[in-house]
Amino acid sequence: MDSHGRGERQEPENRQRVVWAVVGTDIGPMLLAATHDGLVNVVFHVTDSVREKTVAGLASRLGAEPVEAPGSPLLAEAIRQFAAYFAGELHDFELPLDWSLISGFNRQVLRELASGVPYGAVVGYGDLARRVGRPGGAQAVGAAMGANPLPVVVPCHRVVESDGGLGGFGGGLETKRKLLALEGVLPEPLF
């Protein structure tokens, strides 16, 4: 028996459980997925086809069939914090994160971004590369941002070009503009 009084046979199944829900936000529907270890995936602009592709990808990568469970305790705090963030009431996500969808240099860069670039601030791709000991690695940082499985929580929208350009963004440049406007970095879009 483990500390929760369950038999040992159940523990691996519980650890691998993947739950997901689609939540409405000011930038459109987002899919949040979590495991026993924490939030594992955040996906922008969820349509039926994006949802199907995401759920199939999670099943393949995590080895468990994801279950739609908007009421799951594994998602409750993430859903609450996303609502508070988009309402302008939360500046720092405090959620357990499951980093299993990313590894190596990309994980190193994203962890530095998550801990070192606060709400309302931005960092250049090259600056972030220097912070992780890869001066000249701006393109590699850009690739890491594109591979980020946890956007918003791991704030890849805060990484911009050194000349003031927005740079790329997996959720689309309009979404990046809206997130930076929400955080007070850019003026609110007129339309």
Q: Please give the full DSSP string across 140-183, using - where no structure is assigned.
A: HHHHHHHT-SSTTTS-GGGEE-TTS-----TT-HHHHHHHHHHT
Comparing C-alpha atoms, which of 164, 144, 165 is closest to residue 156? 144
The catalytic residues are 156
Q: Check if the beta carbon of residue 91 is closer than 8 Å to that of residue 120.
A: yes
Q: What is the pTM of this model?
A: 0.88
- Residue by residue, pLDDT tens for the chain (191 residues) are 444 444 333 344 444 699 999 999 999 999 999 999 999 999 999 999 999 999 999 999 999 999 999 999 999 999 999 999 999 999 999 999 999 999 999 999 999 999 999 999 999 999 999 999 999 999 999 999 999 999 999 999 999 998 878 888 888 999 999 999 999 998 866 55
For tokens 């600056």, what's the residue? 127
